[in-house]
C-alpha cells in the first residue's frame, strides 16, 4: 500500500514538473523578452527604484517606493542578479 502511494506520488510529481518545464520554455522562447538587472550591495531603495525605472521594469519610482515603505520592504531588499520576463 505504501509503495503504491509513493509510486503514484512520484508519477504525479514527474508529470507536474514536466508540464511546468514545458510551460516555462514556451513562455521564455516564444512570447517573452527578458532583462537582467543587478542590484549591488549597499544600494538603497531609491537607487533600486531608479535602476528598475530606467530599465522599464517599473512604471513609477514613486509608487514603488510607496509600496516598499508601506510594507517595510526597505529591510527586505536583497542584492543580486535578477531576470525579469516580459510577455510580448
Domain boundaries of the chain, sorted by first residue: 2-87
Yes or no: is domain 2-87 CATH 3.30.1490? yes
Cell numbers standing for residue 51: 535602476
Of 86, 74, 77, 87, the residue nearest 36 (C-alpha): 86
DSSP characters over 15-55: HHHHHHHHHHHHHHHHHEEEEEEEEPTT--HHHHHHHHHHT
Residue 2 — very low, low, confident or very high, per pLDDT cuts 50/70/90? Answer: confident
For 44-70, write each residue's pLDDT tens digit: 999 999 999 998 889 999 999 999 888
Residue 14 reports pLDDT greater than 80 = yes
Residue 19 reports pLDDT greater than 80 = no
Amino acid at each position: 500500500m505504501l509503495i503504491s502511494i509513493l509510486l503514484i506520488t512520484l508519477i504525479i510529481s514527474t508529470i507536474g514538473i514536466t508540464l511546468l518545464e514545458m510551460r516555462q520554455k514556451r513562455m521564455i522562447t516564444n512570447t517573452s523578452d527578458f532583462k537582467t538587472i543587478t542590484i549591488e550591495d549597499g544600494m538603497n531603495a531609491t537607487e533600486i527604484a531608479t535602476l528598475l525605472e530606467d530599465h522599464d521594469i517599473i512604471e513609477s519610482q514613486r509608487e514603488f517606493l510607496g509600496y516598499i515603505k508601506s510594507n517595510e520592504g526597505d529591510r527586505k531588499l536583497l542584492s543580486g542578479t535578477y531576470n525579469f520576463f516580459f510577455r510580448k
